[in-house]
Amino acid sequence: MGYRAGYRSYRSLSFGPVGFLIVANLVLFMTTSIWPEFFIPAFGLQPASFLEKPWTILTNLFVHSPFTIYSPLGSIWHILANMLTLYFFGSYLCGLVGNRNFLIVYFMGGILGNVVYLLLGPPLSIAIGASGAVFAVAGALTVLRPRLPVFIIPIPVPIPLWIAVIGGFLILSFASFVAWQAHLGGLVLGLLAGLLLKKRQRPFYWA
């Protein structure tokens, strides 16, 4: 007796869209580190100047900065956390729903997060980073695999995914210099997308 799953294992993925997104973010991080005074105002999302720079609703998802006045906490930890989460959660989500659906969740989550930031964020602040899109991926995966065990530093034991994602969102929402508005928009999009994808997910077939 055997069975075949209705989704692919994330371990079997090749470079794919997750790898492309990680490389693009790392390349732009290094580029921005050379000239942050240009790249962050030009490609970061600022509510007060959005109508003059509408492209920033998308480009800010690829911009992270080094330790500067634009990122007082030092963005090396920001991009590291985003890319590690994107690698593990994104690869798993691709295996469950396919590359196309993954990209839809990622970019729609990032864009909705930016819309929420435009509505609720400080007008003169500049939002950068892929966190809204990453929270969308995490939210979708939370609906599809809520009990998936994950390790979160510094917790020494695995915890259910839904606790890690919701807990991480709540903790980050109280941190300074964090665009919680973008996180909220991305997470909500991801949860809704997860519900839609769950209905379409193919079942296991037994033979």
The CATH number of whichever domain residue 139 belongs to comes to 1.20.1540.10
pLDDT, mean of residues 11-23 = 79
The domain total for the chain is: 1
Q: Is a pLDDT exceeding 50 seen at residue 9?
A: no
State the pLDDT at residue 200: 77
State the pLDDT at residue 74: 53
Max mean pLDDT range (11-20, 97-106, 155-164, 191-200): 97-106
Q: What pairing do the DSSP bridges indicate for beta strands 205-206 and 159-160?
A: unpaired
pLDDT tens, 32-84?
A: 888 888 999 999 999 999 999 999 999 999 998 765 544 544 567 889 989 99
State the pLDDT at residue 2: 34
Q: Is a pLDDT exceeding 60 seen at residue 114?
A: yes
The single-letter DSSP state of residue 22 is H
Q: Percent of the chain scored above 70 by pLDDT?
A: 85
Q: Is a pLDDT exceeding 70 seen at residue 112?
A: yes
CA distance 207 to 204: 10
State the pLDDT at residue 202: 54
State the pLDDT at residue 67: 55
Helix segments in the chain, DSSP class H: 16-34, 36-43, 56-59, 75-85, 91-97, 99-120, 131-144, 161-173, 180-200
Domain hosting residue 149, numbered range: 3-206
With bands split at pLDDT 50, 70 and 90, how would you rate the model's confidence at 201? low
With bands split at pLDDT 50, 70 and 90, how would you rate the model's confidence at 93? very high
Across the chain, what does the average pLDDT equal?
86
Angle in degrees, 0-180, between the axes of helices 131-144 and 161-173, rounded to the nearest 10: 150
Q: What is the pTM of this model?
A: 0.86
